[in-house]
Structure 1
Amino acid sequence: MPSELVHLELSDHVATVTLDSPHNRNALSRQLVGELGERLSTAEADPGTRVVLLRSAHPVFCAGADLAEAASDTGADGPRQLVSLQAQIAGMAKPVVVELGGPVRAGGLGIVGAADIVLAAESVTFALTEVRLGLAPAVISLSLLERLSPRAAAEIFLSARTFGATEAADMGLITRAVPDAELASAVEDTLNSIAGGTLQGLSETKRLLNRDLLKRIERDGEHVARRSAELFDSEEARAAMKAFMSRTRP
């Protein structure tokens, strides 16, 4: 049986969920996404937990889709799993704080978009690279289009350029960028502030904040999952993914 890719620690009203899949830089394999959903469910059910912290055990937070897995998958179950994960994060009664100490690419930004508060070190970079692989950020658009202005979304979706944490904060993708040396203390302060809330206060406030996001996921989730599967299975995308994985030009 494969080793555990996502860990959970419960302590002092905080559930810490840690991504730990170094062999593929926390790419969104079915195992990782499935375990992440399970850990979040456990954290939500824990009566002592007020807030969930999601972080990485390694320098990269998430490299995006697991292309090796996607190349051999022709169904929509994988995209549906990521739709469900975004809905779970946004719909949890307990706030989810993401700590970004390293880069995030493509599908990993769906986790960022669905989270309630995202703190990033200033050195962190982001990129939505789907267009370079014959794909579109279909599934993660569910959460990202709720966070970004239409102009910002168009520019970063279409250009696939890399941008930094300060710009990400300016466009609404993350909550705040802080100096690298101050990230841990900023996260601790945020967790302590949230943990001072009551369960009812936190859950009802999340309900207000994420109402429109959850409506979008319910309305469009199945459509974007199916479209994502079609794109991954297309001749153009398969050639581009093969070229990318072999580090050659398509």
Structure 2
Amino acid sequence: MTLIARTRARGVETLSLDAPANRNALSAALVGELADALTDCAKDADVRAIVLTHTGNTFCAGADLRDPPNPDALVGLFRQIVGLRKPVVARVTGHVRAGGLGLLAACDITAASTEATFAFTEVLIGVAPAVISLALLPRTDPRALARYYLTGERFDATEAARIGLLTVAGEDVDTALAPVLDGLRRAAPQALAETKQLLTARVLETFDRDAADFTALSARLFASPQAREGMTAFLERRDPPWVL
């Protein structure tokens, strides 16, 4: 079964996360298929830019707790998006949780409709937003991250734009993205590649410096007794024992 749907229009390749029954969770299979699709786009001279979007009412629910990706593979996917020499634009019309926010942060331009909601839910199940921080920390307001990382609170698209997680939020995401995609189609491919490299240099430095430590932290926490209890409670739709 294909987990990434692909279409193309005037040089823009749209990659849609297409596992709505699983809320487009980052399973090992989905991560691998998305990485392969991005590799194809990188090699194709006819692809000017990439739009990353979704089917269903959830952009991405985070890591698949039943079939989690290898942490190194997840780091590799985020780094691939950041380092790709073509712009990657996120188009969101639904909910984004945990690891899905790492996908957003890795993209160059991010747009969402006002119906979208966001939350860093890792602390609620006993882990930390470690791997996704490689892209988030260099690009998002640190005071806001402190609040939302530590509390797991849900916030809306307007707030996501205020803190730098989104480039633009609007009632109609396609209307908001129309001038963005028009600009990308008008830009010279060489100029896009070199300009993106300027913009992502510091983010890639964070990956190179911190990826091993953040991956180790993620693996340690996911293997801990608290995380096992937290994930079990989540799957059983009950509160974990530490909730007061």
- 2:47 maps to what in 1? 49
SS in 1 for 2:25: coil
Q: Given residue 26 of structure 2, which amino acid in structure 1 is its aligned partner?
A: L
In structure 2, C-alpha distance between the alignment counterparts of 1:209 and 1:103, rounded to whole Å: 27
1:214 aligns with: 204
Aligned length: 240
Do structure 1's residue 39 and structure 2's residue 37 form an aligned pair? Answer: yes
Q: CA offsets per residue over residues 43-100 of structure 1, 9 Å max, x none?
A: 1111111110010021110011101224xxxxxx711111111110010110000000
Q: How does 1:5-24 map to 2 (within 5 A)?
A: 5-24=3-22
Is the CA contact (8 Å cut-off) linking 2:168 and 2:176 kept in structure 1?
no
Q: Secondary structure at the match of 1:53?
A: strand
User: In the alignment, does 2:57 pair up with 1:65?
Assistant: no
The alpha-carbon deviation at position 160 of structure 1 amounts to 0.5
Aligned to 1:91: 83
Inter-partner Cα distance in structure 1 for 2:235 and 2:209: 34
| TM-score with structure 2 setting the length | 0.96
Which of 110, 115, 137 is 1:123 aligned to? 115
Higher relative contact order (CA 8 A, sep 6+): 1
User: Any runs of at least 4 consecutive aligned residues in structure 1 with deviations exceeding 6 A, and if so which?
Assistant: none
Query: Where does residue 73 of structure 1 map in the other structure?
Result: none
Alignment of 1:224 with 2:214, yes or no, is yes
Q: d(CA) in 2 for partners of 1:7 and 1:37?
A: 13
Q: 1:10 Cα deviation (Å)?
A: 2.9
Does the 8 A contact of 2:94 with 2:116 survive in 1?
yes
1:76-115 equivalences under 5 Å are 78-115=70-107
Measure how far apart 1:153 and its partner are: 1.2
Residue aligning to 2:175: 185
- 2:169·2:176 contact (CA, 8 Å) conserved in 1? no
> Counterpart in 2 of 1:238?
228
Deviations 1:132-186 (A, max 9, x none): 111000000001101112211111100110000001100101101101xx21222
Distance in 2 between residues matched to 1:23 and 1:125, nearest whole Å: 18
In structure 2, distance between residues paired with 1:150 and 1:189: 29
**Residue type at the aligned position of 1:129:** T
Cα separation, 1, equivalents of 2:238 and 2:175:
42
Asked whether the 8 Å contact 1:16–1:54 carries over to 2, the reply is: yes
Per the alignment, residue 249 of structure 1 pairs with 239
Aligned counterparts of 2:6 and 2:213: Cα–Cα separation in 1: 32
Amino acid at match of 1:183: V
- Name the SS of the counterpart of 1:65 in structure 2: coil
TM superposition score normalised by structure 1: 0.93
State the alpha-carbon separation in 1 of the partners of residues 239 and 53 from structure 2. Answer: 33
Any gaps of 5 or more consecutive residues in structure 1?
Answer: 71-76
Identity of aligned residues (%): 45
Q: d(CA) in 2 for partners of 1:129 and 1:224?
A: 17
Instruction: Evaluate the alpha carbon distance shift between residue 149 and residue 186 of structure 1 in structure 2; reply closer, same or farther with a 3 A threshold.
Output: closer
Residue by residue over 1:91-132, the C-alpha shift from the partner in whole angstroms, topping out at 9 and shown as x without a partner, is 011000000000100000011001000010012100001111
